[in-house]
Amino acid sequence: MNLAPLAQTLLPMLQSPAGAVLFVPLYALWVTLLLPGVWASMLAGALYGTWWGSLIVFLGACLGAEAAFLLGRHWLRDWARRQLQRTPKLLAIEQGVSREGLKLVLLTRLSPAFPFSLLNLAYGLSDVSLRDYNIGLIGILPGTILFCGLGALAGDVARFGEVLSGEADAGTWTLRIVGLLATVASVWLVGRAAQRALTPPGSP
């Protein structure tokens, strides 16, 4: 099936102001259905740029995360438990969050090593309060900016030849790439901190 004509129709629609507004609930639905948000975040970056894309993704991710959390805590608890049993790491997060609270919510949100959509189920099954859960959503901002930045960079990749020939501002590209590398390094360090926080006291 050739999806190119469909993409050529939909993408210009999404690039409009109305399309940007529509992208928020679409992203929320994507998250609620437990689908990986990386590619959707990069698409937002390519469509709207790093900063507008990050804002749009953050709003959609928060809405979807709230829905998945409430479903896991109240209405789909048994189903959510079965899903987590397939991933021992997420079960460890559930237990760790119940023990550490907001601190671990923030650490795991900051690290893309933990799947965002499934984390919402783990939080829903844990003893973390709704207040701490909502505050912890701030932690998705660095990863959101990272993936939207990568999408924006990919969207501009056709201009790379202009940079090499001196026809475009190489300084802007340099700052963008350095910023992305710094974000990657920060996210990696936070991921290591989250892994240490998940290790039970007294473990080797």
Whether 134 is covered by a domain: the verdict is yes
Give tens-digit pLDDT for 135-181. Answer: 989 888 888 888 888 888 776 654 444 444 444 455 555 555 655 56
Quote the domain boundaries for residue 160.
Answer: 37-198
Give tens-digit pLDDT for 46-58. Answer: 889 889 999 999 9
Whether 141 is covered by a domain: the verdict is yes
Whether 118 is covered by a domain: the verdict is yes
- In this structure, what is the dihedral angle of CA atoms 149, 154, 160, 161, given to the nearest 10 degrees? -170
The pTM of this model reads 0.73
- Total domains in the chain come to 1
C-alpha pair distances (Å), 153 with each of 33, 46, 119, 161, 174 = 28, 7, 28, 13, 11
